[in-house]
Amino acid sequence: MILVKSYCIRCVTRCCSPQAASQQRELEFKKVSDVVAKLTAPANRIGTLLDLPGEGLARIVVGGAEYYANVDPRVPEPDLKVGTQILVNEAYAVIRTLGYDRNGPILKLAEAMHDGRLRFEQDMGRQSLVLQRSTDLIGVELKAGDEIRIDPSHRVAIEKLGDRKASRHALDETPTVTWEQIGGQSEAIAAIRKAIEYPLLHAQTFERFKFSQPKGFLLYGPPGCGKTLIGQAAAGSLSKLVSESDQIGSSSADNRPPVTSGTFLHVKGPEILNMWLGESERIVRDLFDQARARRKNGALPFIFIDEAESILGTRRAMRSFNISNTLVPMFCSEMDGIESLRDVVIILASNRPDLIDPAVLRPGRIDRKIKVSRPNNDAAAQILKVYLTEDLPLDTGLVKERGGEHARAVASLVEEVIESIFQRTVDNRLLSIRMRSGQTKVLYRGDLVSGAILASIVQRAKEKAIDRTIQSGQPAGLLASDVLDSVSEEFREGDMLPPDDAAEEWLKLLDHHPEQVVGVSSFRRGRQTEERILNQII
C-alpha cells in the first residue's frame, strides 16, 4: 500500500511539472493545426482511369478533360484498373483508387469490334459512341443487343448487364405438362406431335425424302380450350425425348450442335407492345437473339407467343401509324432467318386467326395451322377426369350409392356432369341466333363449353366442400349437388352479351362465323332477352 501511494505521488509530480505541461500544450497545438490544415485544404477531385501508358504514369479524365498524371508509388498497381474511379490531388497526381462506380448510363451494344472496342448506336436521343472496355470487361463475350453500363464520363464500358426484358420471358425450367394432362384434344395433339416430334426423331428419314421441316405452328380456336397447355406440353415432351434419345441432331447434313436440353420462352403478345418508337421491334429482335444463343449452347428453344393477333395483326394503310406496319415485317424477317424447327420452334396461339397478317401465316413461315376445337361429350368427359381425380375426397353417402367403390363414384359423377351440360333442355339454352335466311339457331351449354369452364366448375365444387368442412369442423367430401350446382353457377355468371357494336367480334370468339347472322339474344332463366341486332351485316 505504501509503494502504490509513493508511485502515485511521483506520477502527479511529473505531470504537473512545467516541462510536462509544455510538451502537452505542443501536442494539442499540433493536433489542432492538423485539423485546420485538413479543413482548409482544397478538395480532391474524382476522375476515371483510361490507360497506364508507362511506369508511374496514368491517362485520366477529370471533369471532361484528359490529363497525363503521375501516380503515387504507394498506390497498389493491381488496383489501377481501366475504368475505375481515382482520387487526384491539387497537383492532379493519382493518390488513391476508388473502384468502379456503381452507377452510370446503360446503352445497347450495336457491335463488338475486332480490336476490342465497342460501338453503340444512337439511342434515346444519345449520339453514337465508340468506347473502350474496362479491365474486367476484357475477354468477356459480348454481342449486339447486350445491355452495357458505362462510366459517368462516357469513356469506358464497365459492366455487362443481363437483358431484363428478354430474359423475363424465359422460364427457369421447361414446362412439365404432359400430353396425358390435356384432355379432349386428341386430334390437335396428334397433329402437333406428328408435325413437331417426327422431323426431329426421324431426321434421316425426312432427309431421304428431301422434306422441308416446318418452322412455325399456329394453334387457333375459342378461348379456354387448351392452346397454351398444348404449347407447354410440346416443349415438355420434346425436352423429355431429347434427354432420352441421341437421334435428335443426327442428320448427316446438320452442322449444328446436338440438342441436349430444351428451353421455353413464353411471351404474351401485349407484353411486347411499347409506347416508345422502335422498342417493340427491339424486344422481338432480342427474343429471337436469345433463342439463337440458347440453341448454340445445345438447347432447343421454344418461342410460344400467346394472343399473337395483338402484335401480328393485319397491316393497315399508311394514313395513320399502326404498330403492325413495322412489327410484322420485323417478325417475318426474323422467321426467315430460321432454317427449320431444328433451330427454333415457333408456336403462335390465337383466338382470332383472321386478324393475323397473311404474310405471317403463309407457308414457309407458319407451316401448320392446327385448330383446337371445343370439346364434345367424350372430350369433355376426358377433361373432367383430369380434374375430378380418384384421390379426391367424396361424400361417404355418394360412394355408398355407387356400390361402395370410390372409382365408380367418380366415374358416375363425371357422367352426371356431362349429362347436365350437354342435355338439350330449356334450362340449358344460352343464346338464340337469328340467321339471314330467317332460321333461328339455339346454342346450348354444350355448344359453348370449354376446358377452362370445366376446370372452373370443379374448382367451385371443391370450394363448397371446403366451406362445409370449415363450418362443420368435420371432414367432408364432394357431393353430387356441389358439382351440379357449380355447373349452373358457372354458366349463369357467364351469361353476358356484348355491346351492339362488338357482337360480330364476340361471335367469332365463340367460334361462330357471323356472316349469316342478323341478331343475337340470350336466355336467362328460361326467358329470352332483347335481341342484339348486328346492323353492320344486315
Contacts of 538 (CB under 8 A, 6+ apart): 436, 518
Helix %, strand %, coil % of the chain (to 5): 40, 25, 35
The x, y and z cell numbers of residue 126, run together, are: 444519345
Average pLDDT estimate for 148-171: 76
Chain-centroid distance, C-alpha 59 = 44
Greater model confidence, 104 or 169: 104
Choose the most confident range, by mean pLDDT, from 244-248, 391-395, 520-524: 391-395
Cα–Cα distance, 360 to 473 (Å, whole number): 58
DSSP result, 142-203: --TT-EEEE-TTSSEEEEEEP-HHHHTTB-SS-----GGGS-S-HHHHHHHHHHHHHHHHTH
Q: Report whether pLDDT(422) > 60.
A: yes
Distance of CA 353 to the CA centre of its chain: 22
For residues 4-11, average pLDDT: 48
How confident is the model over 68-87, as pLDDT tens digits?
A: 999 999 999 899 999 999 99
What is the per-residue pLDDT across 253-269, written as a single tens digit (0 to 9) for each?
555 666 666 677 888 88
Closest among 452, 457, 458, 444 to 495, alpha carbons compared: 444
| CA torsion angle 91 94 98 99 (round to 10) | 140
Rounded average pLDDT over 128-149: 88
Could you tell me the three cell numbers for 327? 412489327
DSSP one-letter code for 17: S
CA dihedral 132, 138, 141, 145 (to 10 degrees): -20
Residues in the chain: 538
Sign of CA dihedral 276, 278, 279, 281: positive
Residue 302's CB is within 10 A of a number of other CB atoms, namely: 27
Edge-to-edge strand list for the sheet holding 299-306: 261-268, 299-306, 345-350, 216-220, 366-371
pLDDT digits (tens, 9 = 90+) for 471-487: 888 888 888 899 999 99
Neighbours of 79 (CB within 10 A): 13
Q: Taking each helix axis from N to C terminus, what angle separates 377-387 and 451-472, rounded to the nearest 10 degrees?
A: 40
76 vs 526, which has greater pLDDT?
76
What is the C-alpha separation between 25 and 32, in angstroms, rounded?
11
Residue 437, Cβ neighbours under 10 Å: how many? 8
Which of these, 511, 506, 510, 509, lies nearest to 534 by C-alpha position?
506
Q: Which of 298, 296, 312, 393 is nearest to 353 (CA)?
A: 312
Q: Which helix H or strand E contains 345, and what residues bound it? A: strand 345-350
Contact 522, 497 (CB under 8 A): yes
- As a whole number of angstroms, the distance between CA 257 and CA 236 comes to 20
What stretches of 37-142 adopt beta strand conformation (E)?
45-54, 57-62, 65-70, 85-88, 94-99, 106-112, 118-120, 129-133
Q: Identify the weakest region by mean pLDDT among 17-31, 117-131, 196-210, 451-465.
A: 17-31
538, pLDDT greater than 50: no
Arithmetic mean of pLDDT, 218-225 = 88
User: Which residues does residue 375 pair with via DSSP β-bridges, in sequence order?
Assistant: none
pLDDT on residue 253:
52
- Going from the C-alpha of 2 to that of each of 7, 8, 9, 152, the distances in angstroms are 9, 10, 11, 71
User: What integer is the mean pLDDT of 201-225?
Assistant: 84
Q: Return the DSSP state at 218.
A: E
Mean pLDDT of the chain: 79
Burial track 81-109 (b if 16+ CB lie within 10 A, e otherwise): bbbbbbbbbeebbbbebeebbeebeebbb
The angle at the Cα of 256, spanning 254 to 259, to the nearest 5 degrees, equals 105
Stretch among 224-238, 321-335, 390-404, 517-531 having the lowest mean pLDDT: 517-531
| Beta bridge mates, 71 | 94
